[in-house]
Amino acid sequence: MKRTIYSVITGTGNYIPSKRIRNEDFLTNEFYDTDGKKLDKTNQEIINKLLEISTIKERRYVTDDLVTSDIAYYAAIDAIKSANIDKEELDYIIVAHNFGDVKNDNKRLDIVPSLAARVKHKLEIKNSDAIAYDLPFGCPGWIQGVIQADYFIKSGDVKKILVIGADILSRVSDPHDRDSMLYADGAGAVVLEAKKRDTPIGILAHKTRSDTFLYSNMLYMGKSYKPDHENKGDLFLKMNGRKLYQYALETVPQAIKDCLEKSNTHLSEIKKMLIHQANGKMDDAILKRLYCLYDIADVPENIMPMTIAWLGNSSVATIPTLLDLILKDKLDEHKINKGDILVFASVGAGMNINAMIYKM
């Protein structure tokens, strides 16, 4: 019998910044609406509403001396150590990000050389056959990097791939936009290896969709909402939150269902749902709608681990960080065991959605 090549995660790592930013730290901000008018609600009211909708109590920011390639490197070291591999054996280094190395004192985009090239340099990898490149794909970028890695591994010529997701959103957030309270910084990484098996393991199926025709501008870069913002040339991350919420509810559950069907897996077989966390209440609604597609009234308890309450929305870093915390027993009440089947799913700028079914 011919054995099949599967893509298996053999190591995980993360970098969670040390700087804790609590909701109360936004009490002195001046918040404006999209039309440049100062919001008539008190900051405490704005903060209370954010907590109610998003469940975010605090988030993490990097210190002033770090850039995205730095924290990507720290997560990479952690993952390589976890996988117990020789870094010179890596065939690819894929770094998913969206804003490059934005410095604390300079908001200009800096992506030359690529962040992957910078990470490879920091890792001191001399192997010229270790190909390093970046992947900007919105919040689903890390999953998309893993999907690309799966294609490489399934080709039969590739053995080991490092996939990193890292972003520093605090430096592209408009301090005068209440949505800035959603965003956070962080990095997560995995090592995927080719494994030949008689029975399925690792990545079982994946599904990606891009709805650019109608929805490409729901996340975009724009000027500060404050009319007399001191640096007129600065651009900040902007979001049409209500439309994005509705889009996610209408499309993410079906994308996950399509992926489950592609892998011949029923929803009842899933042990954990690792979903990108931009909004805690939105994820709850997505999960409920997914189970409704299967005519299942009650969502199982503890199936969707959440970190957004204390880590905020760290974009491409959210899911790999979440996976690492669980596998290293750092997330209370959540365990992943051998043989468990997981769902990974994300939605973000583009608009892009992807899902992946994975067997431990």
pLDDT tens digits for range 172-185: 999 999 999 999 99
Question: What pLDDT sits at residue 232?
Answer: 74
Q: Are residues 264 and 345 in the same domain?
A: yes
Q: Are residues 126 and 216 in the same domain?
A: no
Question: What pLDDT sits at residue 300?
Answer: 93
Distance CA 217, CA 235 (A): 15
* Residue 152 dihedral angles phi and psi, to the nearest 5°: -60, -45
Q: Is 317 helix (H, G, I), strand (E, B) or coil?
A: helix
Task: Name which residue leads in pLDDT, 332 or 15.
Answer: 15
Distance CA 257, CA 259 (A): 5
Q: Are 185 and 170 in contact (CB under 8 A)?
A: yes
pLDDT tens digits for range 14-38: 999 999 999 999 999 999 999 999 9
228 found inside a domain: no
What value does the mean pLDDT take over residues 245-252? Answer: 94
CATH number where 158 lies: 3.40.47.10
Q: Are residues 246 and 193 in the same domain?
A: no
Q: Are residues 192 and 239 in the same domain?
A: no
Question: What would the DSSP string read from start to end of 2-38?
Answer: PPEEEEEEEEEEEE--SEEEEGGGGTT---B-TTSPB
Q: Are 340 and 202 in contact (CB under 8 A)?
A: no
- The helix-helix angle for 241-262 and 280-293 (nearest 10°) equals 40
Structure tokens at 303: 């199936």
Long-range (24+ apart) CB contacts under 8 A made by 326-332 are: 326/272, 327/12, 328/12, 331/305, 331/307
Distance CA 338, CA 288 (A): 26
Mean predicted lDDT score pLDDT of the chain? 95
Distance CA 27, CA 60 (A): 17
The secondary structure of residue 264, as a DSSP letter, is: T
- Alpha carbon dihedral 57, 65, 169, 56, in 10-degree steps, equals 0
279 found inside a domain: yes
Confidence tier at 3 by pLDDT (50, 70, 90): confident
* Domain termination site, one of 182, 197, 212: 197
Q: Are residues 240 and 93 in the same domain?
A: no
Q: Are residues 310 and 171 in the same domain?
A: no
320 found inside a domain: yes
Q: Are 283 and 306 in contact (CB under 8 A)?
A: yes
Q: Are residues 260 and 136 in the same domain?
A: no
What value does the mean pLDDT take over residues 151-169? Answer: 96
**What's CA 108's distance to the chain center, in Å?**
22
For residue 212, the enclosing domain spans: 202-223+233-359
Question: What pLDDT sits at residue 256?
Answer: 98
Question: What pLDDT sits at residue 241?
Answer: 84
Whether the per-residue pLDDT at 58 is higher than 80: the answer is yes
Confidence tier at 278 by pLDDT (50, 70, 90): very high
Q: Are residues 238 and 264 in the same domain?
A: yes
120 found inside a domain: yes
Whether the per-residue pLDDT at 154 is higher than 70: the answer is yes
Question: What pLDDT sits at residue 228?
Answer: 85
What value does the mean pLDDT take over residues 3-15? Answer: 96
Q: Are residues 120 and 210 in the same domain?
A: no
Domain count, the chain: 2
pLDDT tens digits for range 120-139: 999 999 999 999 999 999 99
pLDDT tens digits for range 70-116: 999 999 999 999 999 999 999 999 999 999 999 998 888 899 999 99
pLDDT tens digits for range 35-57: 999 999 999 999 999 999 999 99
What value does the mean pLDDT take over residues 288-301? Answer: 94
Q: Are residues 59 and 167 in the same domain?
A: yes
Q: Are residues 208 and 185 in the same domain?
A: no
162 found inside a domain: yes
Q: Is 3 helix (H, G, I), strand (E, B) or coil?
A: coil
Q: Enumerate the β-bridge partners of residue 352.
A: 210, 348
Q: Are residues 218 and 354 in the same domain?
A: yes
Question: What pLDDT sits at residue 1?
Answer: 54
What value does the mean pLDDT take over residues 227-247? Answer: 87
Confidence tier at 230 by pLDDT (50, 70, 90): confident
Helix (H) or strand (E) holding 152: helix 141-154
Structure tokens at 105: 């004192």
